[in-house]
Structure 1
Amino acid sequence: MLPQWLLPAAPPADSVPGRRQLVSTQVEAYLGWHPDAEIIRSQPGLGPMLSARVLAEFGDDPHRYASAKARKNYAGTSPIARASGRKKVVTARFVRNDRLIDALIAQAFSALRVSSGTTTPTSGGPRARTPRPPVSGLCGTTSVRADPR
Structure 2
Amino acid sequence: MMLKKWDELPDFMRSDEVRPYYDILKRKKVSLVLKRLMDLIGGLILLVLLAIPMAVIAVWIKFDSKGPVFYRQERVTIYGKHFKIHKFRTMVNNADRIGATVTVGNDSRITKVGAKLRGCRLDELPQVLDLISGDSGIIGTTKKNLDFTRVSLA
Q: Same fold (TM over 0.5)?
A: no
TM-score, scaled to structure 2: 0.24
Specify which structure has the higher proportion of helix: 2
Larger Rg: 1
